[in-house]
Structure 1
Amino acid sequence: MAKNRTVYVCAECGGTTPKWQGKCPHCNAWNTLEETVESSAPSAAAHRYAPLASSSPVRSLSEIEARETPRQPTGLDEFDRVLGGGLVAGAVVLIGGDPGIGKSTLLLQALASLSETTSVLYVTGEESAEQVALRARRLGLATGNVNLLAEIRLEAIQAAVSEQKPTVAVIDSIQTLYSGELTAAPGSVSQVRECAAQLTRLAKQTGIAIVMIGHVTKDGALAGPRVLEHIVDTVLYFEGDTHSSYRLVRAFKNRFGAVNELGVFAMTDRGLRGVANPSALFLSQHEQQVAGSCVMATQEGTRPLLVEIQALVDSSHAPNPRRLTVGLEGNRLAMLLAVLHRHAGVSTFDQDVFVNAVGGVRITEPAADLPVLLAIMSSLRDRPLPRGLIAFGEVGLAGEIRPAPRGQERLREAAKLGFSVALIPKANAPRQPIEGLEIWAVDRLDAALEKLR
């Protein structure tokens, strides 16, 4: 008879230890060890993982035929963009996001579209079948060919998938599933890891594309062991403010496409709708020019986007002036202010500095450095930047302006939306002139600020 023993599993790395500790001995993360009961049944484990034991002959890499992987479009253009063109047979996709942001709505819409050409299965563990049917009716979806299963037991789900043999299956959500071979509660580290591994193995063996919805922690990371993100092929994050009607789907890992792709959706009473021109969302419509505003051209995967950067510089009445960013990295702002003082002679030691990326978008690339500094200088001088100006470029600690990747695509997007002047790094200057766009190419921060005097 199998003996059960209590172990402590790290929620970050999945490592185990027999005793509780404040810090995980494997990854050094604090307060991540959770108590669980582990069943030691070597014979059952050997039987469960028997398909993995089959060996294949060693071959030269040059002898293996490489062919293009066919994709199944979901019918949602923005979702297909993030996936790299559509779903791949046997791929496992993990999508996470805050509660109520629209994960289930998006996947139900995708299944309704896919059901017109192929077989699909929706497995719900968080809602009843009636609740899912009510949502589909409210969205006006044609779900006559969408098969639904309300189940949280892994073995029953595996049997249903093997029997139905759908092309695409959605699991809502992975944290609600449990395996009868483990004694831990649903949502525990061992259950999430085991259920995800079993479903991934099922997808690879049968060629069924499986999309799993995952919960997120209060920090915004996917709940459960970090190994969950390593198991799957694609990791997507649903971003956006629940009080706003716009949603962003971002790819952080994709074995079948480009990472950092961005899909933009608008939440309506008929579900999520793709936004054809997302740059318009991130640009404020001012009736007249205002100080402290600069438009930058950023690159999200293969898509260039225009985003407005706003800055407010005000006299500080506290001993320590505030440095606050929304949508940008806070530590980088402190570094840029130091560069501004050292290489342009502009000090802000007695000023509060607030920087915001309009529209709720989050910018991580360093090409936002130059627009941030231009917006700060505009607010500090209380003087608007020239009309129709767009900028991008990384600012180094020595005051140099470094080039940004895919500068040509950024400039063409700016010209398409009617911008007339581009302040860019000298290394990004186009060889051929772009119609309607005047190029100001600079290589130093002081030269960039001199252009705006």
Structure 2
Amino acid sequence: MAKAAKRAYVCSDCGMDFARWQGQCSGCKSWNTITEFTIPNTKSGVATSARSSLSGYAGIAGGGSKKLHEVEAVDAQKMLTGIGELDRVLCGGLTTGSVNIISGDPGAGKTTLLSDLVARMSKLMPSLYCTAEESLSQFKNRVNRLKLSCNEDNLYLMAETSVEAIIAELDAKQIKFAVIDSIQAVSTELANGSPGSPSQVKTAAQSLTQYCKQNNVTMFLIAHVNKNNEIAGPQTLVHIVDALLHIDTNDGQVRTLRANKNRFGDVDTVGIFRMTERGMLSVDNPSEIFLSGSTTESSGSAITCIRKGNRNILLEIQCLTTETEGEFPQRVCVGLNMNRIKMLTGILRKHAKTKIFHDTFFNIVGGLKIDESETCIDLALVAALLSSLNEFVVPRTTCIMGELSLNGDVRPIDSGVPRVKEAAQHGFTEIFIPYRNYHKSMEGLGAKIVAVKTIHELIELIN
């Protein structure tokens, strides 16, 4: 009598498995993410032969252990893509033979960016774009709309959901660069479940990675995200690939590309793009889009310098205060953390005796979102608020940076010298910094460095 097929229960968010179904995953605390799938008792001939080859590094037979001096050290070969910000995030270009994942919200620009990339790569090598979520005519319409330049003899398009068929096509056409759109939409015969299930996503990624490593094929996998804006599927998916890139969508046309994992470089670099009708355009000087460019000085504006990864970016903070028409004053902010705003107004009320019975509106020029951990903008927020409240102007040649503590002291910020150099290079003649960030190397930059210790000193200096 045949044995009954085994059943497994796996969380689609974190990949944790359970002996039985339950409503909440005890690993990631998500509700209704545990799905059931069947484990077959016997393996098919295709599955057995394929799994037997999965030995060593990405399926390449290791041939036993070796001593350290017997291993040949080979440097990773990188090639420039021609997309400046993508090359920056990948630390000098795309690594040959690497498998990369790019994720982001719907409409973030994943397909747009990779359509541009595969068109550029077709000029260098045979390239394939496999779409499992749209027709080939839709892809061609996008190429025409974005006016992408490509080598039509080297660019292959494919609408397929079978991993085995994709690998066969890669081998038949001797493809050296490929894009799979998306990993949640394809399926393999080596696993059970519907496309997008944990077992399918994991096994499909393993099979594609194995082929790429054995044949020196460079590949990008597009991945979906869940409700928390994190990559969907089992966490093992991230461990399989070489790099994980994520596109953050800000309010407006600004897109931020960050590497959350990179085996061939660091993860501190951030790329800035602007979404236009011509596609995702690299922004070589982000400070230009985050400064209003206005030549008219007005109250309620202050300029600061933040750090995105290893890049220093100048941006303008705007504040508007008006008389309250209702019973309670409003606090509205775009791109900023509301809790931080409330804390700063409390510090002003306690230490500067400034009572704010006004509707207060904050905005970041350019639509960039500031992380809650980016506390170096505290002094600029206070300066913009006081400037609008008391009707005085902070000169546009002044840059203000520093963190404010609850007792009214100005705390130091990280990477103070690079931030000051960035501001000086953009022509700022007066730079306010925390007292403990002062360094002698700042004196030769052609700007006046003003070191402040407390909120009281800042208020006296900017008034």
* Counterpart among 441, 447, 450 of residue 457 in structure 2: 447
Q: Bigger shift: 135-144 or 107-116?
A: 135-144
The 2-side partners of 1:187 and 1:173 are apart by 10
The answer as to 2:421 corresponding to 1:412 is: yes
* Counterpart among 212, 215, 229 of residue 206 in structure 1: 215
Q: How many residues align?
A: 449
SS at match of 1:307: strand
**Counterpart for residue 39 of structure 2:** 39
SS at match of 1:174: coil
The 5 A counterparts of 1:335-414 are 335-348=343-356, 350-364=357-371, 365-414=374-423
TM-score (norm 2): 0.86
SS at match of 2:440: coil
The 1-side partners of 2:454 and 2:41 are apart by 66
The 2-side partners of 1:203 and 1:35 are apart by 30
Match of 1:438, as an amino acid?
K
- CA shift, 1:14, in A, is 0.8
**Counterpart for residue 122 of structure 1:** 129
The 2-side partners of 1:403 and 1:312 are apart by 27
The 1-side partners of 2:96 and 2:448 are apart by 47
The 1-side partners of 2:23 and 2:176 are apart by 45
Match of 1:440, as an amino acid?
V
Any gaps of 5 or more consecutive residues in structure 2?
Answer: none
The 5 A counterparts of 1:147-166 are 147-166=156-175
Q: Does structure 1 retain, via aligned residues, the 8 Å contact 2:246–2:257?
A: yes
**Counterpart for residue 82 of structure 2:** 75
**Counterpart for residue 95 of structure 1:** 102
Distance 1:379 1:193, change over 3 A: farther
Match of 1:14, as an amino acid?
G
CA distances 1:96-141 after superposition (whole Å, capped 9, x unpaired): 2233333222212112222222232211111222222232233242
CA distances 1:218-253 after superposition (whole Å, capped 9, x unpaired): 4433333344334333222223458x4443323333
- CA shift, 1:260, in A, is 4.2
- CA shift, 1:293, in A, is 1.6
SS at match of 2:304: strand
Distance 1:314 1:87, change over 3 A: same
CA RMSD, 1 decimal: 3.0
Q: Does structure 1 retain, via aligned residues, the 8 Å contact 2:12–2:35?
A: no
* Counterpart among 285, 290, 293 of residue 277 in structure 1: 285
SS at match of 2:150: coil
The 1-side partners of 2:130 and 2:305 are apart by 41
* Counterpart among 128, 139, 159 of residue 132 in structure 1: 139
SS at match of 1:151: coil
SS at match of 2:451: strand
The 2-side partners of 1:215 and 1:382 are apart by 48
- CA shift, 1:281, in A, is 0.7
Q: Does structure 2 retain, via aligned residues, the 8 Å contact 1:123–1:150?
A: yes
**Counterpart for residue 289 of structure 1:** 297
The 5 A counterparts of 1:166-177 are 166-177=175-186
Match of 1:327, as an amino acid?
G
SS at match of 2:184: helix
The 5 A counterparts of 1:10-21 are 10-21=11-22
The 5 A counterparts of 1:245-256 are 245-256=253-264
**Counterpart for residue 306 of structure 1:** 314
The 2-side partners of 1:38 and 1:269 are apart by 46
- CA shift, 1:82, in A, is 1.6
Q: Does structure 2 retain, via aligned residues, the 8 Å contact 1:75–1:114?
A: no
Identity %: 37
TM-score (norm 1): 0.87
SS at match of 2:55: helix
Match of 2:84, as an amino acid?
D
- CA shift, 1:176, in A, is 0.9
Match of 1:129, as an amino acid?
L
* Counterpart among 231, 235, 242 of residue 222 in structure 1: 231
- CA shift, 1:314, in A, is 4.7
SS at match of 1:385: coil
Distance 1:40 1:397, change over 3 A: farther
- CA shift, 1:172, in A, is 1.0
- CA shift, 1:73, in A, is 1.1
CA distances 1:367-392 after superposition (whole Å, capped 9, x unpaired): 22222222222233232223311122
Q: Does structure 1 retain, via aligned residues, the 8 Å contact 2:329–2:359?
A: yes
**Counterpart for residue 25 of structure 1:** 26
The 2-side partners of 1:148 and 1:38 are apart by 34
The 1-side partners of 2:72 and 2:435 are apart by 44
- CA shift, 1:152, in A, is 0.9
**Counterpart for residue 114 of structure 2:** 107
SS at match of 1:212: strand
Q: Does structure 2 retain, via aligned residues, the 8 Å contact 1:264–1:274?
A: yes
CA distances 1:418-441 after superposition (whole Å, capped 9, x unpaired): 222111122333423244421111
SS at match of 1:359: coil
Any gaps of 5 or more consecutive residues in structure 1?
Answer: none
Distance 1:36 1:426, change over 3 A: same
CA distances 1:132-178 after superposition (whole Å, capped 9, x unpaired): 22322332422311122221111111222334443321111112111
Q: Does structure 1 retain, via aligned residues, the 8 Å contact 2:8–2:39?
A: no
Distance 1:37 1:372, change over 3 A: same
Distance 1:121 1:140, change over 3 A: closer
The 1-side partners of 2:234 and 2:164 are apart by 21
Match of 2:37, as an amino acid?
V
- CA shift, 1:398, in A, is 4.0
